[in-house]
Amino acid sequence: EYKPREVIRLLRNRLPERIQDLLEQIGRCGDELGVKVFVVGGFVRDLLLDLPNLDLDIVVEGDGIAFAEHYARQHQCRVRAHQKFGTAVIVLPDEFKVDVASTRVEFYLEPAALPTVENASIKLDLYRRDFTINTLAISLNGERFGEIHDFFGGLRDLRQKAIRVLHNLSFVEDPTRVFRAVRFEQRLEFHIGKQTEHLIRSAVRMGFLERLGGPRLLSELQHILEEEHPYPAIERLSQLDLLKFLHPSLDLPVDCEDLFDRATRSLNWFDLLYTEESCQRWLVYLLCLVTRLDDDAMQGLCDRLSIPGRYRSLLADERHRAHGVLKGMRRRWRQARRKPRNSDLYVWFEGFSIETLLYLMARIETEDVRRWVSLYVTRLRDEKSWIDGEDLKKMGIPPGPQYKEILRRVLLARLDGKATTREEEIAFVTRRYRSLIT
């Protein structure tokens, strides 16, 4: 279907020059060693779809590690090799990375043991992949540069916009592919093929997904929630009855689409304003997805997904407190309909991670109320009092744990405009804590 000439034209037109050069150098290196080399997988898929993707996945018919080391010697690169898997990463001087694999079949000598690796052909290597659209390979060797290899109908499925597995046991072999199928379907605006959807539903019915380990399940969910627009994939998971594998009582929340939409807007607002500060987008979306779960169910979900310790308190205590604050804010809005004092906002939101704050913004439908949170993010959260512990000492207040509380009170007064200068802060302390001054 694609002649090498056309593929070469696509490589020229759609890729930066240095990537074109890199591919040619990799081909030459293969010629020198007398091994066939291919660029495969997502890179080829996206090249043909005209989507940006510079993740080079190289497969060497033979020893990929020896290949990587040979290339690295010639081009002043570093190599990280994984002997056990016959894979290597070439790290270019500018830190650009290229993944290299050896064609291989993996034998599991005993259950749960690491695979033993043996050499095989490119076709066998590609047979182990998830979907036909990810099995396309382009030859890089001089003579054959630009030849497309399509062993499993990948080109047809790209044309038909179909996500299809290569064989009927695919989801049994690796149930994470169920989530990958949904992610690719929604990202590329493809559809899961009829037989493939049937296989997903069987795998679900037969309980194969329950065997999936927490970390792998989390990693797939994370990938979905890191997509540009995760909602369609979440809806599709729900439609395929897959949310229950995250937690038995997890359903698509009502108005979930609006909630995700507001989360996207909050996240984009934040990214635009704070380019230096990072925020875990997937956590904000996860908080949205599980918004209806009670604390116990949330605990269960964290256990099922083996959520790492560093995220646990955010998803447990912090989320619990955030829901309390949300209630308080609603009550306040119904009663007064005007902005609370800055010190109130500070007390409500103090200590929340940025992810929780953006989740709160997503949960709030009233724009005026949402501004209470954004005001905290932009103006209040980084405020400090002018005076510090040294000043309190000079004023004759005996040092101790009360310093923290006093300085916090000073800050709250400052936020409400009751002490705007250093002098006023000192006056505030003198007035309020007269009894402590010795």
By beta-carbon proximity to ligand ATP, the closer residue of 188 and 395 is 188
Nearest distance, CB of residue 50 and ligand ATP, angstroms = 14
Nearest distance, CB of residue 134 and ligand ATP, angstroms = 3
Which residues lie closer than 8 Å to 97 by C-beta, 6 or more apart?
Answer: 89, 90, 91
Eight-state DSSP code of residue 165: B
Q: What are the backbone angles phi and psi of residue 212, rounded to the nearest 5°?
A: -70, 130
Nearest distance, CB of residue 124 and ligand ATP, angstroms = 14
Rounded Cα distance between 337 and 330, Å, is 10
Rounded Cα distance between 115 and 121, Å, is 18
Which residue has tokens 């807007």?
A: 265
Signed CA dihedral, 280, 286, 292, 295: sign only: negative
By beta-carbon proximity to ligand ATP, the closer residue of 130 and 355 is 130
Give the three-class secondary structure for 337.
coil
Rounded Cα distance between 104 and 151, Å, is 16
Give the three-class secondary structure for 192.
strand
CB-facing half-sphere around the CA of 178: CA atoms within 13 A? 34
By beta-carbon proximity to ligand ATP, the closer residue of 45 and 319 is 45
Number of helical (H) and strand (E) elements in the chain, helices listed first:
22, 11
Nearest distance, CB of residue 174 and ligand ATP, angstroms = 5
Nearest distance, CB of residue 42 and ligand ATP, angstroms = 3
By beta-carbon proximity to ligand ATP, the closer residue of 55 and 317 is 55
By beta-carbon proximity to ligand ATP, the closer residue of 154 and 253 is 154
Q: Determine the residue with CB nearest ligand ATP.
A: 42
Output the CA–CA distances (angstroms, integers) from residue 193 to 49, 162, 166, 207, in the order listed.
18, 6, 11, 21
Give the three-class secondary structure for 316.
helix
Nearest distance, CB of residue 190 and ligand ATP, angstroms = 13
β-pair type (97-102, 56-61): parallel
Nearest distance, CB of residue 424 and ligand ATP, angstroms = 55
List interacting residues with ligand ATP (CB under 6 A).
41-42, 55, 129-130, 134, 174, 176-177
Signed CA dihedral, 179, 181, 186, 188: sign only: positive
Rounded Cα distance between 256 and 236, Å, is 13
Nearest distance, CB of residue 97 and ligand ATP, angstroms = 12
By beta-carbon proximity to ligand ATP, the closer residue of 285 and 352 is 285
Nearest distance, CB of residue 255 and ligand ATP, angstroms = 28
By beta-carbon proximity to ligand ATP, the closer residue of 218 and 413 is 218
By beta-carbon proximity to ligand ATP, the closer residue of 42 and 300 is 42
By beta-carbon proximity to ligand ATP, the closer residue of 30 and 154 is 154
Residue 93 has a CB neighbour count (10 Å cut-off) of 9
In the chain the first and final C-alpha atoms are separated, in Å, by 90
